[in-house]
């Protein structure tokens, strides 16, 4: 079903509490030009009229107006909002500190100090200390710290 732009506004009213402000853009692509240009049409999924259903995309755009993260789900696959929130928290953390977050990381868990940070700089940036993980050869591999 091709939804007009107004249906997006009505959907927001059903989804959120009265007075809630949506602080991100909602885009309606009534004529499907955008999804075709971006190759976001799921050719294997069609609506009752035989029209291809768009894949569902989610883009996180940073303060510098660049895309920091994109998820593209087939129309038949549900989105994992816990993973979206986790990824946004990771983006915020890594934007503020010289760190990376490991797989399945959650706020409050250890992060990896960026490999570009020397041990001397790590002592200054992370005065709470850090743990070193070495390779079997005893070569330093990763530095973990808590923020």
Of the given ranges (48-52, 111-115, 143-147), which has the lowest mean pLDDT?
Answer: 48-52
Answer for the pair 29, 51: CB distance below 8 angstroms, yes or no. Answer: no
Domains of the chain (ranges; CATH) run 5-79 (3.40.30.10), 98-145 (3.30.1020.10)
Mean pLDDT for all residues in the chain: 86
One-character DSSP codes across 51-73: PEEEPEEEEEE-TTSSEEEEEEE
Residue pLDDT, tens place only, 64-123: 989 999 998 888 888 888 999 999 999 999 999 999 999 999 999 999 999 999 999 999
pTM strictly above 0.75: no
Place 20 in a pLDDT band, splitting at 50, 70 and 90: confident
């Amino acid at each position: 079903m091709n939804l007009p732009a107004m249906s997006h506004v009505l959907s927001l009213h059903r989804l959120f509490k009265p007075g809630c402000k949506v602080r991100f853009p909602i885009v309606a692509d009534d004529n499907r030009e955008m999804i075709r240009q971006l190759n976001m049409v799921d050719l294997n999924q069609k609506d009752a009229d035989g029209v291809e259903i768009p894949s569902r995309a989610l883009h996180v755009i940073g303060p510098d107006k660049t895309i920091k993260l994109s998820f593209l789900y087939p129309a038949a696959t549900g989105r994992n909002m816990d993973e979206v929130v986790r990824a946004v928290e990771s983006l915020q953390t890594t934007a503020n500190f010289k760190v990376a977050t490991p797989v399945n990381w959650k706020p409050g868990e250890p992060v990896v100090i960026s490999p570009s940070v020397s041990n001397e700089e790590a002592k200054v940036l992370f005065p709470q200390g850090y743990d070193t993980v070495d390779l079997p050869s005893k070569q330093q591999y990763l530095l973990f710290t808590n923020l």
